[in-house]
Amino acid sequence: MALFALIHKELLVLRKDWHGLLVLFVMPSIFILIMSLAMRDTFSERHQVSIDLLIFDADQSAMSEELAEQLAQLDGFVLHRVEDLTTMERRLARDEARFGLVVQPGFARGLLASAPEQAQLSLLLSPSAGAQLQSLLQLALGDILRAMRLELRLEALSWQYDDLPTAAELRAIGSIEQRYVYQGDTPEAMPTSVQQSVPAWLVFAMFFVVIPLSTAFIIERQQGSLLRLRVMNISSTALIGGKILPYYLINQVQMVLMVLVGIHLVPLFGGDSLQLGGSLWGLFLISSATSLAAIAWALLITTVARTHVQATTLGGVSNIIFAALGGVMVPKFVMPPFMRELANVSPMSWGLEGFLDIFLRQGSALSVLPKVAALLGFALLCLILASWLFSRND
């Protein structure tokens, strides 16, 4: 059967195309490794975030010392004392620390006043200090200052009342229980950077079939092989089918390989291990649908482009736009609301959300169905357009 001959030929050609295989398998493995390690601290509880905070105490009072002690106990911040303002400004400008806190002279006096007339503290920021971290530090500072002022007021009243709370009791808050909520029943699982990175770069890699597929197809067109095959009574359906099945297989091998990288390779470099907790049927469904969408998109690019340079450019640029929009390069949870809405136009976002349903949210086959339907709809639309263009132009 001609279809089997076309599939066999495609696999033979791919096996000999080392550059194509590098793009399809090695590139996403490296991305997963790098991104899992780079984003490890953002996700994991085991590896605490360490943000450098400089402090210059110009007040030199017991109260300013108390403030420094309280700040040193803040989770995620590492306190460094500096001797003067110039040193602090130089280190911030060089990005050696993100924040610098100047305790102004008269800090202790201001803390006792009912309405301080001048700033007691100045917060200096390095160019890379993020807005979210800045808000967190402001909140923490506000809490510490309020507690210190309350403590001073209570101390003043303590000669009148016996049962007032002590300073230690004031600061002690009941421990807050926290747990992650999943679609599945795996309460011990913890979201890690590898759980985010594997789906993201797997989707990206799957869509990268556009490069080898379109290049192969366009070379066949330019070298007359397609013409020869058509004279041999090979139908357009067989020609397209002869591309879909081999690249579908490649996408599934990519999926298995990327999962293995997440489970075995990332931990070797100190990262977390990928945990598979969701439905395997769900994984099969979302993987198949993402693959078909990626291949159909590649076929559409192939029929639109006339040269393989055009195809590589169109395919590469469109993939990067899909990835940037769809939450592959920048996770959606750090995007502002309108960008999160915009992300929904990218098919990579549908695939990524489906994989996250399985890898991160421990979802079932049912939970990925809406994404599967969207991807298959996209694939069908691309295939119809590609078939029409193929029969018109070739």
Q: Which residues bind other proteins (CB under 8 A)?
A: 1-2, 4-6, 8-9, 12-13, 16-17, 222-225, 227-234
DSSP class of residue 334 equals G
Which position has the token pair 């102004």?
104
Torsion of CA 21, 372, 192, 172, to 10 degrees: 170
- Containing 101, the helix (H) or strand (E) segment is strand 99-103
**Least distance (Å) between residue 306 CB and other proteins:** 15
Q: Got the DSSP string for 186-212?
A: -TT----HHHHHHHHHHHHHHHTTHHH
In 3D, which of 20, 107, 18, 95 has the Cα closest to residue 59? 107
What lies within 8 Å, CB to CB, of 28 at 6+ separation is 201, 202, 204, 205, 208, 254, 258
- The nearer residue to other proteins, 12 or 93, going by C-beta atoms, is 12
Handedness of CA 392, 297, 375, 324 (dihedral sign): negative
- The nearer residue to other proteins, 118 or 233, going by C-beta atoms, is 233
**Least distance (Å) between residue 394 CB and other proteins:** 9
- The nearer residue to other proteins, 9 or 146, going by C-beta atoms, is 9
**Least distance (Å) between residue 385 CB and other proteins:** 18
**Least distance (Å) between residue 248 CB and other proteins:** 20
Q: Which residues pair with 121 in a beta bridge?
A: 103
Is-contact 308 218, C-beta < 8 A?
yes
- The nearer residue to other proteins, 215 or 254, going by C-beta atoms, is 215
Is-contact 185 28, C-beta < 8 A?
no
Phi, psi of 93 (to 5 degrees): -65, -30
- The nearer residue to other proteins, 98 or 221, going by C-beta atoms, is 221
Q: Which residues pair with 81 in a beta bridge?
A: 55
Torsion of CA 324, 297, 28, 188, to 10 degrees: 80
Helix (H/G/I), strand (E/B), else coil: 298: helix
- The nearer residue to other proteins, 4 or 281, going by C-beta atoms, is 4
- The nearer residue to other proteins, 187 or 224, going by C-beta atoms, is 224
- The nearer residue to other proteins, 281 or 388, going by C-beta atoms, is 388
**Least distance (Å) between residue 196 CB and other proteins:** 37
**Least distance (Å) between residue 249 CB and other proteins:** 18
**Single-letter amino acid code for the residue at 288:** S
**Least distance (Å) between residue 214 CB and other proteins:** 16
- The nearer residue to other proteins, 288 or 387, going by C-beta atoms, is 387
**Least distance (Å) between residue 245 CB and other proteins:** 15
**Least distance (Å) between residue 11 CB and other proteins:** 11
CA atoms of 233 and 211, how far apart (whole Å): 27
Alpha helices in 223-307 (DSSP H): 225-231, 236-260, 266-268, 280-304
